[in-house]
Structure 1
Amino acid sequence: MSPLFPALAARSARPALRFGDQALSHAELATAAGALAARIAGAPRVAVWATPTLGTAVGVVAALLAGVPVVPVNPKTGERELTHIVTDSSPALVLAERGAELPPILAELARLDTDITGSTEVAEATDTVDRALPAEPSPESPALIVYTSGTTGPPKGVVLPRRAVAATLDALEDAWRWTEDDVLVHALPLFHVHGLILGILGPLRRGGSVRHLGRFSTDGVARELSSGATMLFGVPTMYHRIAEALADDPELAKALTGARLLVSGSAALPVHDHERIGAATGRRVIERYGMTETLMNTSVRADGEPRAGTVGVPLAGVGLRLVDEAGAEITAYDGDTVGEIQVRGPNLFTEYLNRPDATEAAFDDGWFRTGDMAIRDPDGYVRIVGRKATDLIKSGGYKIGAGEIENVLLEHPGVREAAVTGEPDEDLGERIVAWVVPVRADAPPSAEELAAHVAAQLASHKRPRTVRYLQALPRNDMGKIMKRALHD
């Protein structure tokens, strides 16, 4: 296998990473990470205290160079979940930014600092710039162990091989026309697939660069896109804030207009935010679809139609099919028939750590069961309509995806946020429930008005039968709505 990071192996002088006033070229990163890699070589696994810092990126790259599996740890993880992750993955040591205060269970492990300013690692490496990097490990060897959100039990450790990381990033190179000349801006956390693998490892594999904002702000986005950055990665919450700010911020609109690619992921971007950004900038946000277990599966292509409400077409090398409840493949591309997405390809994970039962249950004859429900348009574009467990509503004999109703609700001028779920109904089996955060709490749109709005745009059987008003929707760190918490 060729090096995971060719520009590091070539000691490229091009910029690689920038976090605030700290920056490294690919050559400097090779020196710093290479020295740290030599110190951790042979460890079975390492935990990385994944703060949004340069040190986190250096630590992850060092472990990957050494062939040591990385367990990224969310610094906001609660005590019970953190204990489970550390006990389950058994890291030999923890890599953390100098000065970072670790919780007790991690403080018990051997620790190496990843701070590159005046650090021992860099000082020891300054006279060995030409030291060869470690040999590239096997493509099937574990690269990262990323823990799932644990919505249906304790988080599971998803073992991602180097093969999957390379396959996904190379497929995105094709889909997004991603090159070494691209400069990516993002402010995503570094403990999950979107922020770490796509946002940090992606630019490094391409030989390009990334500028991490540390904390998201529209001013930061405008500043970086106005000074040479070409791409922006974000989640819907970020793009919503951008859409809200555009009317009063001509510099932000100008900066977005000059970007080559705006990418949203991790959850569906509401259509009305698509439209507001497009109207103000002339640029369209594209969406992609992936999971921890599969990395990226589909995307709207840079040279394709940026169609709001879709996640594009399957990436190169990814097999994707829809199946019905009996497991039979759905061959219709009619924009209406709902089925569960199943995928296969080199982008898939190897196993759930220490969970052979869960690994076996996740596959159907080599196809990974995503649990996501979708429809396919006649030209192959995929539209996610929700999760099988929480977003497929069976009402009056119809199978209804919550996602399409949510998008229509968000087009109503009186709705700021919306979520849709199903709950038992003696007559219908399940009735559709809309959870709405109104624009004006003192004058919310009525349930009758919202039901009529949905019926006019979609169909009568898709209208909400119950509307519940909230001040805010419960969300996780990635901005995803926690629907189970709504009913709780």
Structure 2
Amino acid sequence: MTLLRALAEGALDDPDAIRVGDTAMSGPELLGAAAVVADQIRERSDDNPVAVLAEPTAQTVVGMVGGLLAGVPVVPVPPDTGPGERGHVIADSGATLWIGDRPHDVALPSRKIDLNRRSGDVAREAPNDGPALVLYTSGTTGAPKGVLLSRRAMAAGLDGLADAWDWTAQDTLAHGLPLFHVHGLVLGVFGALRIGSPLVHVGRPKPSAYAAAVRDHGATLLFGVPTIWSRIAADPEAAAALRPARLLVSGSAPLPVSVFEQLRELTGQAPVERYGMSETMITLSVRADGERRPGWVGVPVAGVETRLASTDEEDEGELLPHDGETIGELQLRGPGLFDGYLGRPEATAATWTPDRWFRTGDAAVIDEGGYHRIVGRRSVDLIKTGGYRVGAGEIETALLEHEGIREAAVVGEPDNDLGQRIVAHVVLAGDPVDPEEVIAFVADRLSAHKRPREVRVVDALPRNAMGKVQKARLS
């Protein structure tokens, strides 16, 4: 099973084919440097995972590819992880070697990466198809869990996206995403090395850097999270520079409707939204030739099936209609799913229904045409108030239409009368706002039972590295 097919076949032979920050290399140069890392990994007496410091550098890309060549699981470690979480990841994964610059608190033996060294061996991916990556989740419900992804699953997910986005070797991919998640690492690096499209990692994801990727390197396919796209939309000159690009892809968190519309106006095209998880790869996407609706994440990619199921105690598991209105838990199956959580069989078993559909834990609606809209996490974004089921995302969208509000996050809090009351946390765009006026503003746009009962002004919303709001930290 070859994941990095184009790289293995000698594609990407231009000296500037793979650019990460200020460092550029060809595919054969990357393969040769990664083979040195693979040799160092094979020198050990065990086949345990290796931890790679996942900074946005060429060394990180070489280290990740080296792990795939060696055939051992690779554990990407975020560079901003504190000692406590880093220690948990190392201990939980069973990693016995550290690749890259080693933090002072890490006791593992380490190997540095020299971009100028080459191995004399012919570099090929190891033939086994055991877990290739161990990606650690954000840990919103406890200590982070290790998600086991095989090369076969990653390849299936990437091939589905290549079909959906018409992604070919004629594209040049550019982004500034972290290299320790599915979005930035699997799609943003392994995708390019599988499909054969040149890669430009811009380093810090500034609007000017995205504009330069299009202007100076001919980028046609751009990946970003909503925070990045929001900053680009606020920089009309940088946004206008993206007009020659073929596809703007947004994911990892909901894209505000206002940003969607600004991008459409400034770049000449609406962005493509998609949905996925560490456990599933990307399972839903708007197709390159499909309708682009703000707030909707499209249809299943090739090989993926979806359904909605009730989570109410009295009819749990009952399948729900695809009518564009009914909210249920999104469940799916397909070839890109994970192999389980490392060392946690009970947690793994809990993610599957008795008939072997994966329970995403996300609340969604599906319309008659198969388009999906993600309401949010079932645990925090599906609010049951006064007998109604309300999606937090719909209220957040209405709040962001208020000219005085720049960011919004809605949660349900316990209420003796309503069961849960709707509470909005907002970051202001400038001058103070009247909370009662904001409540009335939402009530005018949505049903009265969907209005916030309380509006709390905050300086900032807590977010993780991918820009997702961490609602468990709101109180």
TM range, smaller chain: over 0.9
Q: C-alpha distance in 1, partners of 2:159/2:91? A: 34
1:295 correspondence with 2:281: yes
Aligned to 1:434: 424
Contact 1:16 1:204 in 2 (8 A): no
Contact 2:68 2:125 in 1 (8 A): no
Please list the CA deviations of residues 440-484 of structure 1 after superposition, one character each: whole Å capped at 9, or x if unmatched.
2x432x223222222222211111111111121111221111111
Offset of residue 333 of structure 1? 1.8
Q: Name the aligned partner's letter for residue 273 of structure 1.
A: V
Q: Name the aligned partner's letter for residue 474 of structure 2.
A: L
Deviating 4+ runs (over 4 angstroms): none
Q: C-alpha distance in 2, partners of 1:78/1:288? A: 30
Instruction: Tell me how many residue pairs correspond in the alignment.
Output: 465
Aligned to 1:47: 51
Q: C-alpha distance in 2, partners of 1:165/1:453? A: 44
Q: C-alpha distance in 2, partners of 1:473/1:159? A: 30
1:471 correspondence with 2:459: yes
Gaps of 5+ in 2: none
Q: Percent identity?
A: 53
Aligned to 1:206: 195
Aligned to 1:362: 351
After superposition, where does 1:213-252 map in structure 2 within 5 Å?
213-227=202-216, 228-246=218-236, 249=237, 252=238
TM-score normalised to structure 1 length: 0.92
TM-score normalised to structure 2 length: 0.95
Offset of residue 104 of structure 1? 1.6
After superposition, where does 1:322-471 map in structure 2 within 5 Å?
322-325=308-311, 326-365=315-354, 366-440=356-430, 442-444=431-433, 446-471=434-459
Aligned to 2:28: 27
Offset of residue 44 of structure 1? 2.1
Contact 1:165 1:347 in 2 (8 A): yes
Offset of residue 38 of structure 1? 2.5
The one of 72, 84, 88 equivalent to 1:80 is 84
Contact 2:309 2:319 in 1 (8 A): yes
Please list the CA deviations of residues 107-150 of structure 1 after superposition, one character each: whole Å capped at 9, or x if unmatched.
x212111230x4xx33xx3xx4xx433354234x1110001111
Q: Name the aligned partner's letter for residue 91 of structure 2.
A: T
Task: Call closer, same or farther: CA 1:285–1:415 in 2, change over 3 Å.
Answer: same
Q: C-alpha distance in 2, partners of 1:414/1:94? A: 48
Please list the CA deviations of residues 336-365 of structure 1 after superposition, one character each: whole Å capped at 9, or x if unmatched.
100001111111110111111111111112
Contact 2:351 2:358 in 1 (8 A): yes
Q: C-alpha distance in 1, partners of 2:337/2:317? A: 22
Aligned to 1:17: 18
Contact 2:310 2:320 in 1 (8 A): no
Please list the CA deviations of residues 281-334 of structure 1 after superposition, one character each: whole Å capped at 9, or x if unmatched.
221111111111111110111110111101111111112111001333434121
Gaps of 5+ in 1: none
Q: Name the aligned partner's letter for residue 69 of structure 1.
A: P
Q: C-alpha distance in 1, partners of 2:4/2:182? A: 17
Q: C-alpha distance in 1, partners of 2:10/2:145? A: 37
Which secondary structure state, in structure 2, belongs to the residue aligned with residue 352 of structure 1?
A: coil
Contact 2:232 2:239 in 1 (8 A): no
Contact 1:4 1:136 in 2 (8 A): no
Aligned to 1:58: 62
Contact 1:395 1:429 in 2 (8 A): yes
Aligned to 1:132: 122
Contact 1:157 1:353 in 2 (8 A): yes
Please list the CA deviations of residues 31-56 of structure 1 after superposition, one character each: whole Å capped at 9, or x if unmatched.
11123223313632110011110000
Q: C-alpha distance in 2, partners of 1:63/1:438? A: 45
Contact 2:384 2:420 in 1 (8 A): yes
Contact 2:207 2:239 in 1 (8 A): no
Aligned to 1:188: 177
Please list the CA deviations of residues 142-191 of structure 1 after superposition, one character each: whole Å capped at 9, or x if unmatched.
11000111111111111111111101100000011100111111111111
Aligned to 1:68: 72
Which secondary structure state, in structure 1, belongs to the residue aligned with residue 242 of structure 2?
A: helix
Aligned to 2:109: 110
Q: C-alpha distance in 2, partners of 1:74/1:402? A: 29
Q: C-alpha distance in 2, partners of 1:357/1:253? A: 47
Instruction: After superposing the two structures, state which structure 1 stretch, 464-473 or 5-14, moved more.
Output: 5-14
